[in-house]
Amino acid sequence: MDVNKFQPIIRQIFIELSERMPEAMTFREIANIFFKYGIINSPDNPYGSYQGTKRDYVLDKLNNADNILSFMDGGIAELTEMSSIGIDGAIKDTSLRTILKQLGYTKKISNEEHGIDYMEVPTDIESKLNLSATGTTRIERISRERLPNNIATLIDELNDNLSRGNLNASALLIRRILTLASTVALLKHGGNDKVTTQDGESFELNVLISNAQQEFRISSQTISRVRSAKWIGDSANHSYRVKVNEQDLGTSVTATRLYIDELDLRDAES
C-alpha cells in the first residue's frame, strides 16, 4: 500500500475539522474531546493561554499529536454522531463525511429509530496513517493514573504484556479489566443489583456491560467496541489455537480505555 497517497486526504480531514469544530465548539469543548482521545495530555481550557485562534489550535494539536489513532477512530465517530443527532452546536459535517469516505470510512447506524449514525473507521487505518511502517503495529498504552488500585494493577500487567508482544495474554487481561471496571463502577453508584443476582451470583460480563451502558449512558459505538474486545478475549480463552492479531488487539485496547473513561473510574476507590 502506498501510504503517501493518503497523506493529502488526512491533511484535508484536519483542515476540515479546523473549520468545523471552531464553528460549533468552545475552546474547552475542543480540548475535552482532544484529551478524551489522546491528542493532548491535559484537558486544561486553552482559552486565554493559547496564542492563536480555535482553528489554529485544532490544526496545531492534530498535526503534532504523538498518536492520532484513537481520535481517528472514536473521535471521528463521536463528532459525526453528534451532527447526526441534529443538536444545536453540532458540527456541520457533510463535506467532512465526503472526505472521510475517501479514506475508507463507512456510515454506520447507531440508533435506527431516531436516524442516528456515525462514520466508522476503516480496518486498515493504521497503515493509511503510516503507523505500521516499521512492521509492528503501535498499540497505545492505558494510563493507570488515578485508577483504583485493583484496576491499576491489571493495567500495569496489560501494559507489560503489550510491551513484550504477548497478544493472547493481553486479550485475556482486557477481558478481566472490563469485568472488574464494570463491577467497581456499578458498585460505586450503589448498584449492587446491577452486579449480582438475588442469589448472590455474579452477572456475566455481557450483562455487566449492558447495565453499565444504562447506568452511565455510554454511547452505542463505544459499547459495540467493548463487546468486540470481550469477544476477542473470549476467543483467546476458549482455545489456545486462536492467535490474536495486533490490529484487533489495538482496537480492544482503545475500547477499554474509552470504557474506563466513560465509567468515571479515575479517583474512584477500590
* CATH number of the domain residue 187 falls in: 1.20.120
148-200: pLDDT as tens digits: 999 999 999 998 888 888 888 999 999 999 999 999 999 988 778 889 888 88
Q: Which of 178, 181, 166, 136 is nearest to 236 (CA)?
A: 166
How many Å separate Cα 238 from the centre of its chain? 26
Grid cell for residue 40:
493532548
Domain count across the chain = 2
DSSP output for 175-199: HHHHHHHHHHHHHHTT-GGGTB-TT
Which DSSP state fits 72?
Answer: I
- Picking from 128, 158, 188, the residue at the C-terminal end of a domain is 128
Average pLDDT of the chain, as a whole number: 83
Residues 7 and 116 in one domain: yes
How much of the chain, in percent, has pLDDT values that exceed 90?
24
Residues 124 and 9 in one domain: yes
| 202 bridge partner residues | 196
Residues 154 and 247 in one domain: yes
Residues 111 and 9 in one domain: yes
| 196 bridge partner residues | 202
- The verdict on residue 118 lying in a domain is yes
Residues 73 and 183 in one domain: no
- The verdict on residue 102 lying in a domain is yes
Residues 117 and 159 in one domain: no
Of 91 and 184, the one with more pLDDT: 184
- The verdict on residue 140 lying in a domain is no
Residue labelled with grid coordinates 476458549? 238
- The verdict on residue 211 lying in a domain is yes
Tell me the whole-structure pTM to 2 decimals.
0.57
219-270: pLDDT as tens digits: 888 898 899 999 998 888 776 667 888 878 888 998 899 899 889 887 755 5
- The verdict on residue 225 lying in a domain is yes
Per-residue b or e along 83-118, where b marks 16 or more CB atoms closer than 10 Å to that residue's CB: bbeeeeebbebeebbebbeebebeebebeeeeebbb
Residues 108 and 166 in one domain: no
Residues 12 and 124 in one domain: yes
- The verdict on residue 195 lying in a domain is yes
- The verdict on residue 269 lying in a domain is no
Q: Where are the alpha helices (DSSP H) in the chain?
A: 7-24, 27-36, 54-63, 69-70, 76-85, 94-102, 125-128, 149-163, 167-188, 205-216, 220-238, 246-262
Question: Would the pLDDT of 67 be above 90?
Answer: no
The answer to whether the CB of 229 falls within 8 A of the CB of 256 is yes
pLDDT of residue 86: 54
Residues 27 and 68 in one domain: yes
User: Which domain covers residue 153, as residue numbers?
Assistant: 149-262
